Amino acid sequence: MALDGPIDQSVSRQAMKAELLDAETELRLAYAWRDRRDEAALHRLINAYMRLAVSMAAKYRRYGAPMNDLIQEAGLGLMKAADKFDPDRGVRFSTYAVWWIKAGIQDYVMRNWSMVRTGSTSNQKTLFFNLRRVQAKLEREAEARGEKLDGHQLRAKIASEVGVPLSDVEMMEGRLSGSDFSLNATQAADEDGREWIDTIEDESTQAADLVEDSHDRDALRNWLVEAMSSLTERERFIVRERKLRDQPRTLEELGLELELSKERVRQIEAAAFGKMRKALEGKSRELHDFLA
């Protein structure tokens, strides 16, 4: 049965009419496919168990996915099962195929539930498909005992029941609580027809801030030039190499170039900064941090 063409209700009808394989025939077909890559055997095996794939796909209709797509994903899972099935293990093909069919359908549902990835770990998958059922069960049990669970208590019990961290429950509950909305959708309560994207804060630098920053940088540059003018040529050289380069040079490198000890270079640097601090005293905290 081809799975790459349009799938409609006829697929379900055809699947229900397919032959039922006994264990011996199933085993013979599985060996023929595994050992000889007999495509006719594979085709017969897939057709026989397509009813199982359709039946499992129907259980996931409540997640809003098109039935045609669910059937196709179930069929792909069935094909993967047939390709990986080892008849020497002594289990029926249907038992083995259930896992692959279910995994294929669940992966598809989770991929298409939301534009934001819902989750991919085993914990997230377990919660996605069991959170509401477990929550309803715990609420019924609490009500029968005359108890009222608050949100935190309920989430903690769900985490214990499912065997996952509480943080995973909180995350999944948030993702399942709402649907995707377009940022270009119009706000219902807004008479001017503003879109939701208009309410998002613009985090880019504003014009006033740009002007202010430019003014501050110019002032700092002028102050720094003024302070540097009070230094000797050697002091200016050491300050430039130690503070104004993209990759500052080490005391040892400067000592070798100036034929001074590393300690002497450090002393000259400290003295130069002292002169600059005196010249810039009270002008700017930022320059104070520069000279620290």
pLDDT tens for 220-231 read 777 778 878 888
pLDDT given at position 115: 46
pLDDT given at position 197: 54
Neighbours of 232 (CB within 10 A): 12
Stronger pLDDT, 210 or 163, i.e. the higher one: 163
Confidence grade of residue 1 (pLDDT, cut at 50, 70, 90): very low
pLDDT, average across residues 263-278: 87
pLDDT given at position 2: 41
Stronger pLDDT, 284 or 277, i.e. the higher one: 277
Share of the chain above pLDDT 70, in %: 74
Tally the residues of the chain: 292
Average pLDDT, the chain: 79
Check whether 212 has a pLDDT greater than 60. Answer: yes
Confidence grade of residue 28 (pLDDT, cut at 50, 70, 90): very high
pLDDT, average across residues 153-160: 86
Stronger pLDDT, 73 or 149, i.e. the higher one: 73
Place of tokens 């697929």: 11
Taking the C-alpha atoms of residue 109 and residue 29, their distance in angstroms, rounded to an integer, is 31
